[in-house]
Chain A
Amino acid sequence: QKEVEQDPGPLSVPEGAIVSLNCTYSNSAFQYFMWYRQYSRKGPELLMYTYSSGNKEDGRFTAQVDKSSKYISLFIRDSQPSDSATYLCAMSEGTSYDKVIFGPGTSLSVIP
């Protein structure tokens, strides 16, 4: 079983839809959770950064962490064509020399 799993998609939605992107993980010691957006031929851009369980909202984006289920989600409201990208989840335990583990990414297309 991979440490972090993510449905690769592709996911295609109409403009204005609510998008739900998800990751599951196996390491119960993960405490820091991140979502990155990556456009084609570009580096990942940090969207959301959360610690432990709970919700965090930033504009049209909401990140949810459920540590009991080892499940994290990113919701995008009122999706726009400019949201079309690959979304990577990432997580770490947060110790000094700890690594960040990335999911393989979900490809999202928002159709005008």
Chain B
Amino acid sequence: DGGITQSPKYLFRKEGQNVTLSCEQNLNHDAMYWYRQDPGQGLRLIYYSQIVNDFQKGDIAEGYSVSREKKESFPLTVTSAQKNPTAFYLCASSIGGGGQPQHFGDGTRLSIL
């Protein structure tokens, strides 16, 4: 079955630590996205990538970094510079950019120890 796999499902970060969230898709989609979801707020875009080796900052990129070395993979690193990292992180992909519908993984919940 085609889909998006996010791992781990739960992650804990210590002070001063960088952590990396994995996102893999086998849908052969060109575009991939990372969102942050907080209670009562809509999904906020962190980073997105329309093509391999290219990515753009979203609305809340500070304290986060990404890479897109392979079409199927788009890992997100939450750095120690992100002072409020506790949230539900969602990865998505779409055939292309613009108005194409996005398909989501089941998320990673990140908490601070």
**Hey, which bits of chain A sit against chain B, CB under 8 A?**
4, 8, 31-32, 34, 36, 41-46, 49, 51, 88, 92-105
Number of interface residues of B (CB under 8 A): 26
Output the least CB separation between B17 and chain A (Å): 24
Stretch at the interface among B66-74, B76-84, B96-104: B96-104
Main secondary structure of the interface of A (DSSP, over half): loop
Output the least CB separation between A89 and chain B (Å): 9
Query: Bound state CA distance, A4 and B44, in angstroms?
Result: 12
Q: A44-B90, A104-B42 are in contact. Are A94 and B105 (CB under 8 A)?
A: no
**Hey, which bits of chain B sit against chain A, CB under 8 A?**
4, 6, 35, 40-43, 45, 48, 50, 56, 58-59, 90, 92, 97-99, 101-107, 109
Are B106 and A49 in contact (CB-based, < 8 A)? Answer: no
Are A51 and B104 in contact (CB-based, < 8 A)? Answer: no
Query: Bound state CA distance, A41 and B88, in angstroms?
Result: 9
Complex contacts, A101 vs chain B, CB 8 Å: 42
Are B107 and A42 in contact (CB-based, < 8 A)? Answer: yes
Complex contacts, B56 vs chain A, CB 8 Å: 97
Complex: chain B residue closest to A39, CB-CB: B106
Complex contacts, B35 vs chain A, CB 8 Å: 102
Output the least CB separation between B110 and chain A (Å): 13
Complex contacts, B109 vs chain A, CB 8 Å: 41
Q: A94-B99, A100-B102 are in contact. Are A105 and B42 (CB under 8 A)?
A: yes
